[in-house]
Amino acid sequence: MYINKDIIMDIMEDMRKIIGHSDYGNDEQQIFKIIESYILSDSRLEMYNFKVKARLVYQVYYSIRKDLGILHPFSKDKDITEIMVNGKDNIFIERSGTIERVNEQFTTTEELEELIRRIAGRVHREINELNPIVDARLPDGSRINAVYKNVALNGPILTIRKFPEKAFSMEDLIQFGTITEEAADFLNRMVIAGENIFISGGTGSGKTSLLNVLSNYIPKEERIIVIEDSAELQLHGIENIVRLECRNANVQGKGLVDMQQLIKTSLRMRPNRIIVGEVRGKEVLDMLQAFNTGHDGSLSTGHGNSISGMLKRLETMVLQAANFPTDAIRNQIAEGIDIMVHLGRMPDKSRRVLEIAEIYGYEQNKYMINSLFKYEVKNGLVKIQNELINKDKLLLRGVR
């Protein structure tokens, strides 16, 4: 049984006025009691049972007192990793790897729009019909994407990607079954040795989590430059670190700072290693140039369906930046990336490392790929090869 939306909006407006003129300040318990008392005594709600009224109490309280409104309880649930709002009537969550629809709804489209504007305003971003898309990071590290209704036909659309308060460790990933101890030890040695590592996978496959884990193997005395579209990596124990984040243009189209600019700037900061959170476009060219100019041990991620598929995507991204000959692009990729790690989501919603491979060159119109570990349905992630083919770099660094 749903309460008429006009009644709900009237109650919200009344509560904003009453609480705004009260002396309770930030006494949330007392404010909650005021809302509860008002709703339980409202004659317009006499036909509704206590369960419906109790739900309305929380809806009104969250809407006028919490930054995420009715989404607040989901933001605090540690088992929920994604909140997806498809217009005012459809809210979905991902809990423990499974997507489910919830009963909560926004009363009006305007309420949802106001929530999106409030979220964007908190992180100094704007969203309106002239600037209909916003990507941002909340103070708690969650990543948001919002699309205005003039672009999304069933909008507005709001997506919130939550991250754990405590970053996963390699031990956690081994326990989850994401990677084996042997493969984890190999990647540990590759990071310390200064191999350039690229992580590929689909959405939600665990790329960021693995990148975060691998970055913790970097020797603490090195200078690290971290470049992200929206900051989400959790790096600890590194003193000499610079963190750079992209910035969207304002309504006038000014103030844009993209990843390509940040990668170019980072090269003037005397980095030992560069960590690029995720590459999506023409910034790949600058990343590869950084990988090929002495910044050994750099790390990055990208969306791909396989290692060979990711290599093709990287080629396409480079072509967005410059019209280079295909062979030149492929040689640049093969020279810049030493190790590729591919992750995927399994039918049971678990995340797995599906392949670890060495890229050791480009000859006769194809990449030279040495598969080191590969996932098998019956046996899990198994070792295919015992050693790297291209040992020259490691020997030059004193690693055997």
Closest CA to 136 of 39, 226, 248, 28: 248
Give the DSSP letter string of 97-165: TEEEE-S---S-HHHHHHHHHHHHHHTT---SSSS-EEEEE-TTS-EEEEE-TTTSTT--EEEEE---S
The answer on 260 and 223 residing in a single domain is yes
For residue 319, is pLDDT > 60?
yes
CATH number at residue 159: 3.30.450.370
Q: Give the residue from 148, 139, 138 showing the smallest Cα distance to 112.
A: 148
Residue with tokens 């309460």: 3
The structure tokens listed for 48 are: 């509704």
| CA–CA gap between residue 5 and residue 357 (Å, rounded) | 57
pLDDT at 27: 79
Give the chain's mean pLDDT.
Answer: 88
Q: Are residues 197 and 332 in the same domain?
A: yes
- pLDDT beyond 60 at 90: yes
Whether residues 182 and 304 fall in one domain: yes
Same domain, 234 and 359: yes
State the Cα–Cα distance between residues 186 and 52, nearest whole angstrom.
56
Statement to judge: residues 21 and 94 lie in one domain:
no
**pTM tops 0.85:** no
Going by their DSSP bridges, the two strands 351-363 and 157-161 should be labelled as: unpaired
pLDDT at 325 over 70: yes
Q: Are strands 299-303 and 273-276 parallel, antiparallel or unpaired?
A: parallel
Please give the structure tokens belonging to residue 134: 């916003």
Structural domains counted in the chain: 3
**Do 6 and 138 belong together in one domain?**
no
Contact 184, 327 (CB under 8 A): no
Alpha-helix runs per DSSP H in 166-206: 170-176, 181-193
Which carries the bigger pLDDT value, residue 248 or residue 226? 226
Structure tokens at 62: 């969250």
Residues 183 and 234 in one domain: yes
Cα gap 158→394, rounded to integer Å: 46
- Let me know whether 337 and 208 are in one domain: yes
| Paired tokens of 7 | 């009644």
Q: Determine the average pLDDT of the residues in 67-74.
A: 89
Q: Which of 164, 186, 209 is the last residue of a domain?
A: 164
Q: Tens digit of pLDDT for each residue in 364-385?
A: 889 999 999 999 988 899 998 7
Note whether 178 and 305 are same-domain residues: yes
pLDDT digits (tens, 9 = 90+) for 137-167: 787 778 899 999 999 989 899 999 988 777 7
Q: Which CATH number belongs to the domain containing residue 231 in this structure?
A: 3.40.50.300
Q: Are 238 and 320 contained in the same domain?
A: yes
Range of the domain at 259: 170-396
CA dihedral 223, 226, 231, 235 (to 10 degrees): -40
Q: Quick check: 284 pLDDT over 60?
A: yes
| Domain end residue (candidates: 16, 49, 65) | 65
Q: What is the pLDDT of residues 197-235, one digit of tens each?
A: 999 999 889 998 999 999 989 998 899 999 988 777 888
Locus of tokens 């999106």: 116
Give residue 332's pLDDT band: very low, low, confident or very high (50, 70, 90): very high
Residues 145 and 22 in one domain: no
Residue 143 and residue 28 share a domain: no
Residue where a domain stops, chosen among 134, 164, 194: 164
